[in-house]
Amino acid sequence: MESNEKTNLITSNPYTNYSSKPHHLHYTSTISRVLWLALVVTMPCLAPGMSFGYSAIVLDQLQLTVDEQSWFASLPSTMMPIGCLLSGPLIDKLGRKTALMVTNLPSCLGWLLLSGQPASLYVLYVGQLLVGLSVGLSTTPATVYAAECITVNYTGLRGCFTIMTSIMLNFGMFLTYLLGALMPAYVVAYVAAFVSFAAFIFIGTLIPESPPWLFGQGRRMDAEFSQRVLRIAQPILQTRRAQSLDGDSAAAVRLRSRIVDRLAEPDVYKPMGIMTTFLFFQQACGSFVLTAYMIQLLGGLGVTVDAYLVTLLAGFTNLAAMVLLSVLLTRFGFKQLSYVSCAGYAASMVLLAAFLLCYGGGDSLVINAVVISCVLLNMAMNGLGLRPIPYAMLGEVFPTDVAGVAGSIVACMSSVFNFVAIKSYPYLRIWLGPGVFAVYGALALLTLVFVATIVPDTRGKTIKQIGDDFLRKKSTVDGGVDGVYRKKSCTADEVF
């Protein structure tokens, strides 16, 4: 009876006072409305994404040693883990919307510090740290919000929309390259600060809070109103644990106190282990290294074409590949596109290493053609899957009740891997020479093997079904001995 009443309430006429609230979007039942909502939700990722390319455009404007350059480029990664860990409590305790708004605060302050002229190196370091914190804060909230609220009525398009977080981050990188070719780096920092402020205003005025989170807090009326605003046709709680929170705030408190126990269950620890390993391979094969050192790398490889022009073209190629990925995801799954991405990425790195090791001539035309082609192929294949797909999957492989905590822990580990990869590149380049690119290529092939054998195929599945798959695997392994998990997997579909 209660379920029928809730369904009737959700599908009834809109809230009578809704039209009188100008700060909400007036939604229509179209894909364009959903796309607009996704753009608003991912806007806080734009300014943090600009940090990915900032070191590339500013290092040649600063008089720094090799060690200082490596610290400047990698410092954002030292704060990313802290941001990732903070995003979990923010997402689960304060809400998805609040977490999105908070992301913009350290971002705006950090970019203002980077824009100071003149500024000491230590002030710039602090600015890099704050921007890195904002990157960590931005990695999970938008993806979780997209999976819970934007794509629930469009399961087949979930991959397309959840990838928009990575698209926005990399659009920020492209914007940095574009502006860096036109104006000094400190002016680019001013632009990024303004973008952060605008995103804060947009999130605060244009989107409602996530209905599953509101249900989890016992705020039934707010959740139902949010569902009407988002045009969600039914409750979107993904697990029996989350459903038990409906109208029971005491149960919500008990659930939060048992979060550690929850992380020890197979529908949580299995995807955590898989995604942590996936992100380790992503960072280890240098997915973010080229973007951090692009201009310096091109100069070191003997390219005589304007480095800023090549960098801008590389950023556009990466962004275009991600847009293409969002289209391809309507027909193919994450696994299939990861195969292509990892194979192409490995080919670009191996070809570059082989050319640099074997070619002994000094023809600048040949060097320009081969090196630039390999770099552009690398950026295209990187954007087609290796860089965005692992982060997009964080929003759909975890149950709703622990999505924030589990996703933030995994993203935290990714940030640690990112710091090690970026900090170590200058020294690996000195020690291994062109061989460093061969190492990256070999690791990309290992990533391909890992995706093919371990990473789950989530295409066309709801978050609840993905979680049930991990529970069923546990029951199968136990051969029916573990009655608890057998019961969970057998009765999960009876919830709805």
The per-residue pLDDT for 42 is: 87
The per-residue pLDDT for 23 is: 39
Query: Number of folded domains in the chain?
Result: 2
| Same domain as 79, residue 150 | yes
> What amino acid occupies position 278?
F
The per-residue pLDDT for 179 is: 93
| Residue 19 maps to a domain | no
| Residue 16 maps to a domain | no
Question: Which residue ranges of the chain lie beneath pLDDT 70?
Answer: 1-31, 151-162, 231-258, 360-361, 462, 473-496
| Same domain as 285, residue 201 | no
The per-residue pLDDT for 421 is: 92
CATH of the domain at 174: 1.20.1250.20
Domain enclosing residue 419, as ranges:
261-471
| Same domain as 292, residue 206 | no
The per-residue pLDDT for 231 is: 66
| Residue 496 maps to a domain | no
The per-residue pLDDT for 223 is: 78
| Residue 253 maps to a domain | no
| Residue 393 maps to a domain | yes
The per-residue pLDDT for 496 is: 25
The per-residue pLDDT for 332 is: 85
Tally the residues of the chain. Answer: 496
The per-residue pLDDT for 476 is: 45
The per-residue pLDDT for 162 is: 64
The per-residue pLDDT for 151 is: 63
The rounded distance, in Å, linking the Cα atoms of 345 and 63 is 33
Of 250, 274, 297, 326, nearest in space to 422 by CA = 297
The Cα-based distances of 478 to 86, 272, 307 in angstroms read 36, 21, 58
The per-residue pLDDT for 160 is: 65
